[in-house]
Amino acid sequence: MNNDLDFIKKYNVLFVEDDESIRKQVIPILEHFFGLVIVGENGADGYNKYCSTTEMNNQIHLIIADINMPIKNGIEMVKEIKKLQVDIPSILISAHNESEYMLEAIKIGVSRYILKPLNLDELLGHIKDVCQFTYNQENFNKLQLYKNELEQYLDIVNQVALISKTDKRGMITYVNDIFCEVSGYNKEQLIGKPHNVVRHPEVSKDIFVSLWETISAGQVWKGKIKNLAQDGNPYYVNANIFPVFYDDGKTVKEYMSVRFLITESEIERRRLKQRVIKNVVESKFTIYQYANTIDELTKKLVHLEDDNKLKSKAIDILHDGLNEMKLNQKKLKSNIISYEQTIVQLNEKLKQCSFEHVIELEGIIKDQKIVLEQLNNRLEIYYNKAIELQNTNSDKDKLISALNKKLLNQATKIRVNRS
C-alpha cells in the first residue's frame, strides 16, 4: 500500500486531536506519508495553526480532526477554515454515531466521516481516496489549462499561417481561410485533391520524395517551398509538415501542414545579404592592394631617408602617403568586420522566418560608399602633391624623379581600380 500512497508526499496535512494517546499513535504514520504534518490539540489551536501555516506560504491540503474537542469542536473548526479555503477536503473522527453530527458534517462538505475506535488501515484508505481525488482534480485543472492555452495558440496560428490536412494518401481533407486566400483556390477546389495542385513546376520532385519519406517515418519535415497560386503567381512558404497519430502514438491518422508565408521583406533581406558579401570581397581585395603598396613605399622610405641629398619635403610627402594608406587599410578592415557581423545577423533573421520588418542596411552600404569616395579624394590630393613635387624638383637628381614617377603610377592604378 505504501507505493500507492507515494504521491501523497507532495501534500501537507493538518491533524487536530485532543487525545494525546491517539496523537502519538497517528502522527508517526502521517509523517511517513505526508510532506508536512501540522498538529493541533483542539479546534481553536487547529484553526490558529492553519492560519499561521498558510501565512508562511505553506498550503494545507487535508484536514483530519476529531469532532469532540474542547474550546472549539472539529465541525466548527472546519467550518471556519472553509471560509478561508472553501474547497479544502476534510476527514472527521467521532466517538458517537449520532445523526446530528453526521448531518452537520455533510452540510459543511466533509469528505469522510470515521467512527472510533480508530482503525489505522481504514484511516489510510480514506486518506488515499481523498488525496487521490485531489490529485486527479489538480491534473484535470492542469490539462484544462493546457487545453485552453493550446486552443488559443492554434487560434493564433490559424490567423497567420496556411494550414492544411491530408489523409494518408496525400489527399487534402482540410484547408483554412488563409490557405485559400494565398493560393487563390476555394475549399471546394482543394478538398479531395492532392497537394501538388499548388506545386510550382520549378520545384524538384526529389524534394517531395524526401518529404513523404520523412513524414511516413513518423518524423517532422521542415523546409522552404515555392508554390504556385491559381493566377500563376509564385509564392514562397516555410513549411512544417508532420504526422498526426491515433491514441496509441504509433499509427498515423493524418498529416498536417503549417506554412508561413515568406514576405517581400524576407526576400529583400536575402538580396541585401548577397550585396554585403560582395562588398566584403571587394574590400578585402582593396586591402590586399594597399598592403602591397605600403610594403613598397616602406622599402623606398628606408632607402630615401639614408640619402641626405634628398629634400625633407619629399620624405614628408612620402610619409603622409604611407600613413594615409595605413589608415585607409585600417578603416577597410573595420568595414569588413561590420559587414561580416551584418551577415551573421541576416542569417539569424533568415532562420527565424518571422514577419518582422527587415532592418534597413542600405544606409550602411551608402556610408561605406562615402568612405570610399573620401578615399578617392585623398588619393587625388596625394596624386596632385606628387605631380607638384615632380614639377618643383625637376632640377633635382634623377633618383627623386624616378621615384615620383613610380609613386604616380601607384596612385593612378589605385584611382582606376576604385573608380
| 203-212, 322-331, 374-383: least confident range | 374-383
Number of alpha carbons in the 13 Å side-chain half-sphere of residue 398: 0
Chain segment 169-215, per-residue pLDDT in tens: 999 999 999 899 999 999 999 999 998 899 999 998 899 899 999 99
Report the pLDDT value the prediction gives residue 372, as an integer from 0 to 100: 53
On whether the CB atoms of residues 319 and 304 are closer than 8 A, the answer is: no
pLDDT, the chain, mean: 78
Query: pTM (2 decimals)?
Result: 0.49
Residue 117 has pLDDT above 60, yes or no: yes
248-251 long-range contacts (CB < 8 A, ≥24 apart) are 250/218
Count H helices and E strands in the chain, helices first: 12, 10
Rounded Cα distance, 338 and 279, in Å = 11
Choice between 125 and 366, residue whose per-residue pLDDT is larger: 125
Residue 307 banded pLDDT, cuts 50, 70, 90:
low
Residue 74 has pLDDT above 80, yes or no: yes
Report the pLDDT value the prediction gives residue 26, as an integer from 0 to 100: 94
On whether the CB atoms of residues 54 and 86 are closer than 8 A, the answer is: no
228 backbone dihedrals φ, ψ, rounded to 5°: -125, 120
Q: Which three cell numbers stand for residue 39?
A: 498538529
Choice between 157 and 265, residue whose per-residue pLDDT is larger: 157
Q: Which three cell numbers stand for residue 190?
A: 482543394
On whether the CB atoms of residues 227 and 237 are closer than 8 A, the answer is: yes
Of 254, 266, 173, 272, nearest in space to 224 by CA: 266
Per the omega criterion (within 30 degrees of 0), is the bond before 28 cis? no
Q: Which three cell numbers stand for residue 91?
A: 476527514
The rounded percent of the chain whose pLDDT value lies above 70 is: 64
Reduce the secondary structure of 246-261 to three states and give it as a string.
CCCCCCEEEEEEEEEE
Q: Span 342-364, mean pLDDT?
A: 54
Number of residues that make up the chain:
419
Rounded Cα distance, 342 and 262, in Å = 20
On whether the CB atoms of residues 361 and 339 are closer than 8 A, the answer is: no
